[in-house]
Amino acid sequence: MWVATFLRLVPAICVALLLCLSACSPKPHDVTKVAAQPAIYPDYIGVTIPVEIAPMNFCMADEAVEAIDVVVRGSKTGELRARHSLTTPDEVAQFDIDEWHQLLKDNIGGTLSFTVTALKDGQWTEYQPFAMTVSPYPLGEYGIVYRRIAPGFETFSNIGMYQRDMSTFCEETLFDVKDVDGQCMNCHYANRCSAQEFLVHVRGKHGATMLRRGGKDTYLTTKTDETFGSCAYGYWHHEGRYCAFSLNKAQQNFYTGEKKIIETWDRMSDIVVLDTETNELLRTPLLEGPDYQTTPAFSADGKTIYFSTATVQNMPQDYEKVKYSLCSIAFDAATGTFGETIDTLINARLLDKSISLARPSYDGKYIMYCLMSHGTTPVSHMDSDLWLLDLATGETRPMDEVNSGEADAYHNWTGNSRWFVFGSKREDHYYSLPYFACIGDDGKATKPFLLPQENPREYYLENLHSFNAPDFVHERVDLDRGEFTERIMSDERIQVKAAALDLPTDK
């Protein structure tokens, strides 16, 4: 044990030694002042951040800048200077993690003013200060969980599930492809950010749905004789007993042109609800019709299931005619029964648009969803934008304050419904990265910011993965990788049963 502990400490010891040998970083002199704010990477100018966030390290957008000196002043109190050492390149503004957190705590509800002085071609230039606002609303979460996957088409390569502490730069592997014998895995679905109630799917030869609830891990086979596929997109009922799923038989085609890459579409899709106590799939003919039904989500009070639905088209020829509307059906958690009618919240066909991934805020105020020209996989549609439906007023609007010209999708809320994370391809059209923003009392979101990294340029330049379906998590997910591998490889599964489908008498 001590050997393993020692070996784990080796990198930290090396870093500590290097820090002790702090390099002589250049100090600004003969500074020229300019009236403009600096162009920085990532663009953190004017963003609002939660008090728990890791240091917002950045560098100049201009890669020719050789060194950067940054002084941060709190509007209430405190001052902090970016540090440099052998492990921190001169061109990156990196902040001491403890001093950073203290400064944020001291300035909750206030602003931080960043004064940047940059060295280029032997000349120091001081820019006008820019600000970040420290939100009065905490994130209230340990971090995020996501799947990292190369944004490919058919091959999944070194896919893995990871968790990231939002207060530090620590990323931890929950499990990856080598733990599951090279098999694919689908996203992690947690019950309102819970680290105690979540599920993940593993696909392939040793496929399973691993469901954690009540301190127990269950490995399920969710494909039944009565249903055409395994459970896919999932969403928990907040009481924890039920989980709604879509069953999707997906297919993909590729574009020929310059901008669009791939079209993923459902050959078939239905919605079922898994009763985690009886391991039974609850069904209704209203959600298993010939139409496509997908991406279900329970309302905040658990009495409604929101989902997207579209009429079947001649695919793939008529792929542009597939328009998903946002609909809902009642659900009674006490009896595990569905309502008898489907309500249409937003008729996308009238808008000539398509809606996907409805995500109700946990406080019951909003539904955030993706809107795009057609189809069901927003992450592959560069016109996919986030929209917000105010459930009190029925008003819906595009979230222009966070949207970009590239795909914005896969959004999830924090437990307090004040913050949300979403994946965006705005960086380079190809790789989806996690952005964060805050919703104010007026329903307006703040400018989104990219997940901070210790050396952001190097990290994101060398990153060859998309951060798929990021979701918040209250506390660190404790998953024994060895045991997980053993259970996956054992093929011991509980076979889920499908409840009888009561056909309506008028059909």
Is 205 near another protein (CB under 8 A)? no
8 A C-beta contact, residue 421 and residue 479: no
Q: With respect to another protein, which residue has the nearer C-beta, 482 or 504? A: 482
Residues near 201 by beta carbon (within 8 Å), at least 6 away in sequence: 185, 186, 187, 207, 208, 209, 210, 230, 231, 232
Q: With respect to another protein, which residue has the nearer C-beta, 14 or 34? A: 14
Which residues make beta-bridge pairs with 217? 212
Place of tokens 């896969």: 410
Is 397 near another protein (CB under 8 A)? no
User: By C-alpha distance, which of 465, 436, 469, 424 is closest to 189?
Assistant: 469
The stretch among 32-40, 42-50, 156-164, 232-240 that binds another protein (CB under 8 A) is: 156-164
Question: How far apart, in Å, are the Cα atoms of 483 and each of 45, 178, 384, 475?
Answer: 44, 14, 39, 20
- Say if residue 12 is exposed, middle or buried (CB neighbours under 10 Å; 0-12, 13-18, 19+): exposed
DSSP assignment of 35-94 equals SSPP-EES--TT-EE-TTPPP--EEESSTT--EEEEEEEESSS-EEE-B-BTTB-TTEEB
Q: With respect to another protein, which residue has the nearer C-beta, 84 or 213? A: 84
Query: Which of 332, 340, 458, 475 lies at the binding interface for another protein (CB under 8 A)?
Result: 458
Smallest distance, Å, CB 317 to another protein?
8
Q: Is 283 helix (H, G, I), strand (E, B) or coil?
A: coil
Q: Maximum distance among all alpha carbons in the chain?
A: 86
Is 150 near another protein (CB under 8 A)? yes
8 A C-beta contact, residue 270 and residue 227: yes
The count of residues interacting with another protein (CB under 8 A) is: 44
Q: With respect to another protein, which residue has the nearer C-beta, 257 or 290? A: 257
Structure tokens belonging to residue 380 = 């592959």
Question: How far apart, in Å, are the Cα atoms of 457 and each of 15, 35, 40, 91, 287?
Answer: 20, 25, 10, 10, 46
Binding-site string for another protein from residue 163 to residue 202, where x marks contact by CB under 8 A and - marks none: ----------x-xxxxx-xx--------------------
Count of other CB atoms within 10 angstroms of residue 46: 14
Q: With respect to another protein, which residue has the nearer C-beta, 258 or 442? A: 258
| Residues 243, 226: Cα–Cα separation, whole Å | 18
- Say if residue 334 is exposed, middle or buried (CB neighbours under 10 Å; 0-12, 13-18, 19+): exposed
The amino acid that residue 287 corresponds to is L
| Residues 23, 28: Cα–Cα separation, whole Å | 15
Q: With respect to another protein, which residue has the nearer C-beta, 114 or 156? A: 156
Is 481 near another protein (CB under 8 A)? yes
Is 429 near another protein (CB under 8 A)? yes
Query: Which of 16, 19, 31, 461 lies at the binding interface for another protein (CB under 8 A)?
Result: 461
Is 75 near another protein (CB under 8 A)? no
8 A C-beta contact, residue 47 and residue 448: yes
The stretch among 150-158, 162-170, 328-336, 499-507 that binds another protein (CB under 8 A) is: 150-158
Binding-site string for another protein from residue 248 to residue 287, where x marks contact by CB under 8 A and - marks none: -----xxxxxxxxx-x------------------------
| Residues 154, 230: Cα–Cα separation, whole Å | 18
Is 18 near another protein (CB under 8 A)? no
| Residues 479, 215: Cα–Cα separation, whole Å | 11
Q: With respect to another protein, which residue has the nearer C-beta, 11 or 394? A: 11
Smallest distance, Å, CB 393 to another protein?
38
Q: With respect to another protein, which residue has the nearer C-beta, 382 or 439? A: 382
The stretch among 230-238, 370-378, 422-430, 440-448 that binds another protein (CB under 8 A) is: 422-430
Q: With respect to another protein, which residue has the nearer C-beta, 314 or 335? A: 314
Q: With respect to another protein, which residue has the nearer C-beta, 156 or 436? A: 156
Smallest distance, Å, CB 327 to another protein?
27
Q: With respect to another protein, which residue has the nearer C-beta, 169 or 228? A: 169
Query: Which of 44, 114, 156, 420 lies at the binding interface for another protein (CB under 8 A)?
Result: 156
Binding-site string for another protein from residue 285 to residue 324, where x marks contact by CB under 8 A and - marks none: -------------------------------x--x-----
Binders of another protein among residues 318 to 357 (CB under 8 A) are 319
Query: Which residues lie near another protein (CB under 8 A)?
Result: 3-4, 7, 11, 150, 152-158, 173, 175-179, 181-182, 253-261, 263, 316, 319, 427-431, 458, 461-462, 464, 481-482, 485
